[in-house]
Every structure is written in structure tokens, then in C-alpha cells.
Structure 1
Amino acid sequence: MREQNQPSAPGARGDRILPSFAEAVEYADQQVRAIALDDLRAAGVYRTPLEYYLVGTYPPLKFLHDIDEHEVFRDVTSSQNVYLHIPFCEQYCTFCHFYKEINAADSWVDRYVGALLDDISGVQQRVSAESPEGLNASSIYFGGGTPSYLKAPQINRLFEHLWKNVRTRPDTEITFELHPGVVRQPDYEDRLDAIAAGGVNRWVFGIQSMDEDVLTKLNRGHGRAEVYRLLELLDQRDIHNLNVDLIFGLPLQNLRNWYDTIVELMDAGIEKFNIFPLMFKRSDPITRQYMRNPELFPDAADRLRMHYMAEYVLDAAGFVRGPVFYYAKGKVHSQQQQNKFDSIEEDNLVALGVSGFGYIGGTQYYNVCDNQQYMDAISAGKAPVWRGHTLPDEERVRRAIMFGIRSGGVNFDVLQQRYGIDAGELFAPEIGRLSDLGLVSVEGAQMNLTDLGCTFVDGIGYLFASEEITSYVAGANELIVSPSQDPVDRYDYSPIGRLDLPGGIADRYRDGARS
């Protein structure tokens, strides 16, 4: 983030002074007023909140097709980032769009864990056939769903098998997601002890807000008391590498309770944040909530204000942004996220578990998004791959730009050496327009987002998608009868060809953004 003058308001954090609520709002207001939204909209960069989605994969799921498992694994790198999906939760959070099952029976969870162990073994064999290093993890991430839904014996079983099949280094980052509601379980201390014993060295938990009314509206299954109890338990175990997820744009959220959430969590000692805007999908309950009561949600202008308030307050407290939407105080935020954006071609992403998606040797792929189908594939000795596509060099360049701008930026010389393509020349019109709008800076062969560009990173990334892929996705959309039920649309984590919502809601958001 840019250098800023120290605010004069009270609110000390160490030797730093935080901006007051009024100062944070004033700063955010100035930033929003300075944005030429009409110009950004005309350039295809600004998208209303209902149109917005982050670039999670490229190509998007709607472009992918049936693919042989050999094609997926054939060019795997000698070092990998490993993701494992745990698809179980105790409640259905209204905003969550990832694959999960609610309150699954322990016997069913045991069956899934057994399948996941076999998946680990199978992927280890497939990777070893292509690379003598086998599964050699630079980072490991347990996501969901809710990984802490697993009981201690299941966690122990999973880690025991994982370490028999996956090599690590002393600096391998091992991340495990928790839900604060885990402290309501009778065996919660056993679960935490099992996670720690497994070697986890980075702990992530979704809080989203510290406002009780917001949490209730989201059906989060926890309140502030559970957050503080979890922090206490982790502190007792001398666990301090903690990361908190927050979302802005939520129902019943306003500038005041948003500011209070950030400051309260910093006071509690949190030094890493993931801060994302709320994203709508038709299959999510929160989308139906909005369609019934849009007045409960912050409008587009307030969403932008919340973004800038967070940046201003965190910067004043000594946090550094990197990658975009990730903030850390004096340390690397997340090795896996950084690798995914900056070095995925050298350090591929291997997906284990139902609905995981990965990128190996230029191939974007998804695992099946259904537990029964996943278990059936594993039982048959098959890779649970659903769809994939191996990208030609130009598409790999496009992908490298989309993801690289989120973190370390893009070096055109490196891309030319790797792919034989001059990206600076190929995308000269787009880069020139983005530069004129103040969204990117280009120095020699290096292109980075400006602070303004970071605010609209996913709209910028969209501009580098190819006509072939966008046209194909548009055709695929014509075949979707019910986006809320269609599995391809439901699990497509991309803004490319995103189906808009009915009823003129986007227009109301545009009006709010100009207020």
C-alpha cells in the first residue's frame, strides 16, 4: 500500500496511531469520489457487486471438458502446492458457494476420509510416475467446508497417511481451516491437539464479522464469545500464526460495525487478514436474501468505502497488502496463495478431495463435485477428475497475467523467455488503456497494479481472457436452464461469462455506486 501520513486520532497499536472511525470514513469517501466509475465501466473493468466474481480459475469450468487423468498429471513439477478439501459443515452459511454437506453422520465422514486417503495414495503414484520426487509439498492447505468438522481420530488418521505419502521441507507451510464454532463441540480440545500434532503451522478461521446481528443473519453458527474462546485455546498452545477471514458487503453491515470488527480483531492480536467483498451466486441463500430485501445490504458505494477503510486502517497499523485481498503484518501472508499467483508454473497446484481444482503442467482441472461420485471413482481406482483443459502457450500467458497481477506483478521478459510470446506487444492496447486509467504501472518489462488497480483486480484480469474462451462460455450459458441447480454454473469460480441476475438489481447497484 502507498505511504500515508500518520493519522492524528487516538487509538495506539504499539508505536502506531490508528485513524479514528471518522477519519477512516473521510479517507474512504475521498477515494471513492475520485474514482471515474463511468470510465471504468466503459473499459469493462468495473462490475456491479452482483456481476462481480473473482478470477479463481482460468479457463473457467464452463470451458473445460472430459479429460484423461494421464493428461492431467503428465507434466507435473518436482515441487507442488497441495490442497485437500474437507466437505462437511455444521450449518449452511448463507454466503458460501463451495461444495459441502451439512451435519453428515460420522460413518459417512469416515467413508470420505477413507476415500481421501486412497486419493492421496493414488495421486502420489501418478505424480511419482512423472516426477521422481513424487508428492513434494512446498505448501499444504486443508480447506472446505470445515476441516475442523473432523474428529480427533479422523484428523490423526488423515495426517498419519499424508506424511507417509507426501514429502515436506522445514519451510513447508501447512494450513488448516477452523470454524470458531468448534469450541461448542465436547471434544474440541482433542481436535485442536490433533491438528497441532499433525504439524500444522498456519491456522485460518472464518469470522466474517464481529457484529452479532450480522453473524446471526449469515447463519454462521458462532458469535464473538466463540472467537475469543478459540483465540484463548490457541494461545494456551503457543499457536500464534493465525489468519482471519473477513467479508464486506454483508447484510446488516455498515461502515461503523465494519471498522469496529477490524480494530477489535487487531486488538485481539490478529496479524493476518483475508478481506474479500461479498460475492453472489444464484445457488446461495444470501442471493435470495438480497433479491427479497436489497436495502439490508451495503450499496456499491459503501462496499468501496469498506474496502478503502480496511486498507487505510491496516496500513496505519503496519500491515502490508500482498497478494491482493491478503494483508499481513511484517511477514509472508500465505505461501500457497503467493505460489498460486507468482510461481504456479514452477510449483504446480495439486487438488485432493471432492470438488478440488488444480493446475498441473499447463492443465487446469476440477475434481468431481459430488461425494458419492468422488467415492465411486476412488473405489474404482480412478482419479476423481471431472473436467480439464491443457492450455496452449498464449492462453498460459493470459493466465499468468490474470494471476500475476494479484501479487508480484508480471514480467514480460520472463513470459517471452518461457513461452516465446511478447505479451507487452500482444496486449499493448489493453495495457495502454489500463495505464491511461491509472490501473497499472509499467516500468521496463515489469507491470504491476496501482492501488486503484488492486481495487478492481478481477475486472482487469477479465480483459486478458481470449475471445475463444469467452465465446465458448457464452455458448455454454445458452444451455443452462437453471443456474441455481446446474452443477457447472454452481461451481464455476470465475467472472468470465457470469450469468447476471434478473429484476434490474444491477442497475440499482450502479445507482448506489454513483451516490
Structure 2
Amino acid sequence: MVLFGGSQMNISSWVQRAKQEMQEIGVESIRDSGILPERGAKFFPVIGYPPLTMFSDMDQEPLFNNLQQRHERPLLGYAHIPFCPSRCTFCHWITKTKSKSEEVDMYLDYLEREMILYKQNMGVDAIPVQSVLIGGGTPTYPSAQQMERFMKMYTTHYDLSGCTQFSVEAEPGTLLGKDGYEKLRIMKDYGVDRISLGVQSFDDDILRYMGRVHTHAETLESIRNMRKAGIGNVFIDLIYGYPNQTVEMWAQHMLEAVSLDIEGYQLYRLRIKQHGDRQGNIIVQARKNPERFPETDEVLLMKYLGIMISEEHGFHEYQTRCFAKKPEYISHYLRDWAADLADVAGVGVSAWSTLRGVFAINVGDANLQNYYNLIDQGKVAINRGKMRTKDDELRRSFILPLKNMKVNKQQFTERTGETINNFFHNEVTWLKQLGLLAENDQDIWLTKLGKYFADEVATQFFNPDYMPFEDVMRAPAQIAVG
């Protein structure tokens, strides 16, 4: 028997209970309904809307043109640090591995220049933001001295006086020992109050297979270092559905996760196909050794185990796939842009922005030269984007709040000028009949079953031209009621 966190159940008991609950809430009926691509074997993570596949070539002009005449939204801050200790097999983003200190210094030079260009285009002395995420890559890869330089320039060019949370992504191996503690102390001094740690797995063999260079022991040491530095909100990321991962192993890892000295975690299903600026090497493994990957039934069971064990131990899903002891511990940045539809001012290679109806993404290239070239031309380094149409706004105003928390009907109408009943009557009625949605006079939300299939439910509200898969059933044109 393996016990964690005071649990009185062994691993097989947790697994059997999860199977029974999945049957009781009707998981198989949804797999048979036709709304899941290949009965759940494939999935599309709904991170934003419209999806990035709908973006086309664009420079900075549409993002900033007539900015003051466009409807203002609350603003968030994002910066991208692309450097990493290693290239993870599951990563679909632009990274640079084992970079020398001079490369990091040069990137910071250009990053500050882009911040200055950005605020000049906005017509402000400093960009006012209500929450911040520093992502990557590995933002904690730079040295302590470089970390202080970055923090100083970021808090100079971004106004954090009204910021409710300053969050930084991190890798365990970069936060060890005296140097790691010094980075943490510097971040804390500049207002960082939340760190999201890329743990991914507690198993050293799987970590090596992932291409990670940290160990489980180093994960625990980095958490202790964070606490020593006074970081009061520690999150970790974990991935399920990985090669060589069993259901029993995942259940054991979840039981360990709920026993750690952390405020919460985010659980990710392994994404094999590209969804960022670069195809992850995991697709090579999937083609070469498919037998190492868990079957779909096992992956879905892992997903339910994560939810069930979390809830049993006081980690609640306050935002889809984000579990925390209290709602204020989740990422305010993710909450603000996904549930409240705030704008984002993003800088750095492959960073993204959304300002008053326009999406933009910075150039993503591994050698960084294209990023540098655009800044040398006096431009924010944007090379793709989309001016959102009315249809985009209507769907975005429903899809993102629904997937992440709930849709308030009055807020939807205030944002779009439409009612949900007029625009999504068939979809809502049909998905309610399937047991995936519920509503009252004020809100529409995902049921327990709907939250389990949150991404798949969200895609039901996509414009037909944006659908990621062709083999899924959509709401019938006529809905039988009664």
C-alpha cells in the first residue's frame, strides 16, 4: 500500500473508484455521442479564440492604429524569456538551450528596447497592468545579476501599482543552492508573489525521457528554497498521458502532489501535435514508439483521477485544469484574460498581445535574429495577428469564460450587443440535453461532466471555419425539446 497525505486508500482502490464514478457521470455516453474526435483519442486545447491557426501576416500597425478611439479593456502584462537548460520533448514553443551569458545579455538589451517601443506606441510613460506573467522558455534561467536587471527594467516600463499578482514560471534546477535563492530573493524584492514551477513528473526516469534535466529531489529542494525566500504562492505543473506512464503511477503522483507544501497545480494532458511556434519532438516518439504511449482509456482515467484526488484533498478546480486550496491562488493573469477577457501587452520573442479588438504575435525564431531585426527597425516585433470580427468577438465572449469558469448572460450582452439565446440557442440546448451544460437566469456553466470535457465542449461554439477536427458532430439545426 502506498500512502500520501493521510490517504487511507491504496492505489488500486483510487483507480477502481475513478472508473466507477466515470461510469456514473456518463463519460462513455459522451465518447459515443460523436462530439469527441476519435472518441477522445485526439483533443484540441482551447487556450484562446480565434485559434492561432487563423492568424495571418501582420505588423504592428493594426495593433496600435487609432488605439485611443477603440474600446478600452483592463490590461495585463506578459514577457517571454526563451532560454532553457534543455529542450523538452513535449515543448511546442521557441526556446534556446544552454545559452551563454552574453546571449542572455543581448536578449535583455533588445527586450528593454521593445518595452520602450511598446509604451511609446501606447502613448504612456509606463504600461499599467492589473496582473503579470513572465513566461518562457525558462524565465529563471538567467543569472541572479541578469534577473535583477530584468526585474528593474520590467517594473520601470510597466506600471504595477494596481497589480494584483506578479507570477513567474520557473524550472526546479534553476532555483537551487545560493544562486537559486538569490534569484528568488531578487524576484520577491521586486514584487513577485507567485511562482509556477515546471515539475511535469515526480519520476526521474520519465523526466529523463521528457528531456528534463532536474530530478524529483531537486523539485523538493527548489520548493524549500522558495519558501525560505518568502514566496507565498507556489504552483506546480504536471503532465499526464506521457510515454511509459501508467495509471497507477499517475495516481501515486497525484497523491504525492496533494501532500506537498504548495498552494496548487495545473494538470496538462500531453499535447503531441504542434500548437505553438515549433513542433515538439514528442511527435517523433509517437511515430517511432506508439506502444509506449498510454491508450485513450488510460489517459481519460488519468484525467479523472487528477480531478477526483484533488477534490478529495482540498484542491478545487477554480479554473479549468487549475486546482488550488483557495481561489486567489490561481494565476490572476490566466483568470483575467481567459475568464474576464482582459487585454494583454506582451513583449519578447513569440510573445502575444491583444489590444482593443486586435490580436498580435511576435516573431518566433530560435536564433532570435528576426526578432532583433524588427526592433532595430524601430518596431515592436510583431509578424502575425488578426483583427477580430464581430463573429470572433461573439464567440470569444462565450467560449473563454465558459471553458474557464462560467458565462454571465448580462456581461455577454454588454460586451457583444447580442443575447446568448439568439446566437447560441441550439448549441446550448443540445449540450444541456447531453448533460454538459447547465444554466439559470444569470449564468451558463459546465456541469461536472462538461468540465471533464471542457475543451471539447468549447469547440462546439467555434466558427465552422475554425474547427480543428472535421469528424465531430455539431448541434443539429433543429433541436427536439421535451
The aligned runs of 1:370-409 (5 Å cut-off) are 370=365, 371-409=368-406
Cα distance in 1, alignment partners of residues 125 and 432 from structure 2: 43
Could you say if the C-alpha distance between residues 42 and 299 of structure 1 is closer, same or farther in structure 2, counting changes exceeding 3 Å?
A: same
State the shift of 1:12 in Å.
5.2
Matched letter for residue 56 of structure 2: H
Cα distance in 2, alignment partners of residues 279 and 169 from structure 1: 37
State the shift of 1:390 in Å.
1.6
State the shift of 1:367 in Å.
1.1
Cα distance in 2, alignment partners of residues 200 and 182 from structure 1: 16
Any idea what the Cα deviations from partners look like across 1:414-438, whole Å, max 9, x if unmatched? 2223221122222111111111111
**Which stretch shows the higher mean deviation, 59-68 or 247-256?**
59-68
Match of 1:497 in 2: 468
Matched letter for residue 454 of structure 1: K
Match of 2:477 in 1: none
State the shift of 1:162 in Å.
1.5
Conserved? CA contact 2:37–2:469, under 8 Å? no
Match of 1:103 in 2: 98
Could you say if the C-alpha distance between residues 497 and 113 of structure 1 is closer, same or farther in structure 2, counting changes exceeding 3 Å?
A: same
> Does 1:338 find its partner at 2:335?
yes
SS where residue 354 of structure 2 aligns?
Answer: strand
Any idea what the Cα deviations from partners look like across 1:284-315, whole Å, max 9, x if unmatched? 22221122222222211111111111111111
Aligned length: 458
SS where residue 142 of structure 1 aligns?
Answer: strand
SS where residue 350 of structure 1 aligns?
Answer: strand
State the shift of 1:77 in Å.
3.3
Which of residues 23, 28, 39 is equivalent to 2:13? 23
State the shift of 1:244 in Å.
0.3
Match of 1:453 in 2: 450
Any idea what the Cα deviations from partners look like across 1:149-189, whole Å, max 9, x if unmatched? 11112111111111221111365211111111215688333
Conserved? CA contact 2:181–2:226, under 8 Å? no
**Which stretch shows the higher mean deviation, 240-249 or 266-275?**
266-275
> Does 1:192 find its partner at 2:187?
no
Cα distance in 2, alignment partners of residues 47 and 360 from structure 1: 36
Match of 1:316 in 2: 312
> Does 1:77 find its partner at 2:72?
yes
The aligned runs of 1:91-130 (5 Å cut-off) are 91-127=86-122, 129=123
Conserved? CA contact 1:441–1:448, under 8 Å? yes
**Which stretch shows the higher mean deviation, 373-382 or 257-266?**
257-266
**Which stretch shows the higher mean deviation, 84-93 or 53-62?**
53-62
Conserved? CA contact 1:55–1:461, under 8 Å? yes
Any idea what the Cα deviations from partners look like across 1:474-496, whole Å, max 9, x if unmatched? xxxxxxxxxxxxxxxxxxxxxx4
SS where residue 95 of structure 1 aligns?
Answer: coil
Which of residues 250, 258, 261 is equivalent to 2:250? 258
CA RMSD of aligned residues (A): 2.4
The aligned runs of 1:136-285 (5 Å cut-off) are 136-169=128-161, 171-183=163-175, 187-281=179-273, 283-285=279-281
Match of 2:48 in 1: 57
State the shift of 1:441 in Å.
0.5
Which of residues 429, 435, 440 is equivalent to 2:426? 429
State the shift of 1:238 in Å.
2.7
Could you say if the C-alpha distance between residues 64 and 201 of structure 1 is closer, same or farther in structure 2, counting changes exceeding 3 Å?
A: same
Could you say if the C-alpha distance between residues 68 and 170 of structure 1 is closer, same or farther in structure 2, counting changes exceeding 3 Å?
A: closer
Percent identity, aligned pairs only, is 26
State the shift of 1:69 in Å.
2.2
**Which stretch shows the higher mean deviation, 27-36 or 78-87?**
27-36
SS where residue 243 of structure 1 aligns?
Answer: strand
Cα distance in 2, alignment partners of residues 161 and 217 from structure 1: 37
Q: Which has the higher contact order (CA 8 A, sep 6+)?
A: 1
TM-score normalised by L of structure 2: 0.89
Conserved? CA contact 2:196–2:235, under 8 Å? yes
> Does 1:293 find its partner at 2:283?
no
Cα distance in 1, alignment partners of residues 405 and 436 from structure 2: 15
State the shift of 1:256 in Å.
2.0
Could you say if the C-alpha distance between residues 226 and 327 of structure 1 is closer, same or farther in structure 2, counting changes exceeding 3 Å?
A: same
State the shift of 1:206 in Å.
0.8
Conserved? CA contact 1:19–1:313, under 8 Å? no
Could you say if the C-alpha distance between residues 12 and 178 of structure 1 is closer, same or farther in structure 2, counting changes exceeding 3 Å?
A: closer
Cα distance in 2, alignment partners of residues 354 and 262 from structure 1: 34
> Does 1:420 find its partner at 2:417?
yes
Match of 1:492 in 2: none
State the shift of 1:221 in Å.
0.6
Conserved? CA contact 2:31–2:40, under 8 Å? no
Matched letter for residue 21 of structure 1: I
Which 4+ stretches in 1 moved above 6 angstroms? none
Could you say if the C-alpha distance between residues 114 and 43 of structure 1 is closer, same or farther in structure 2, counting changes exceeding 3 Å?
A: same
Matched letter for residue 241 of structure 1: N
Could you say if the C-alpha distance between residues 76 and 376 of structure 1 is closer, same or farther in structure 2, counting changes exceeding 3 Å?
A: farther
Match of 2:474 in 1: none
State the shift of 1:355 in Å.
0.5
Cα distance in 1, alignment partners of residues 258 and 468 from structure 2: 38
Matched letter for residue 84 of structure 1: A
**Which stretch shows the higher mean deviation, 55-64 or 391-400?**
55-64
Cα distance in 1, alignment partners of residues 164 and 114 from structure 2: 21
Match of 1:306 in 2: 302
Cα distance in 1, alignment partners of residues 349 and 41 from structure 2: 27
Could you say if the C-alpha distance between residues 267 and 403 of structure 1 is closer, same or farther in structure 2, counting changes exceeding 3 Å?
A: same
> Does 1:410 find its partner at 2:407?
yes
Cα distance in 2, alignment partners of residues 183 and 61 from structure 1: 33
SS where residue 256 of structure 2 aligns?
Answer: helix
Any idea what the Cα deviations from partners look like across 1:226-259, whole Å, max 9, x if unmatched? 1121122122223231000001101111122212
Conserved? CA contact 1:78–1:136, under 8 Å? no
Which ranges in structure 2 are unaligned for 5 or more consecutive residues?
472-482
Conserved? CA contact 1:18–1:317, under 8 Å? no
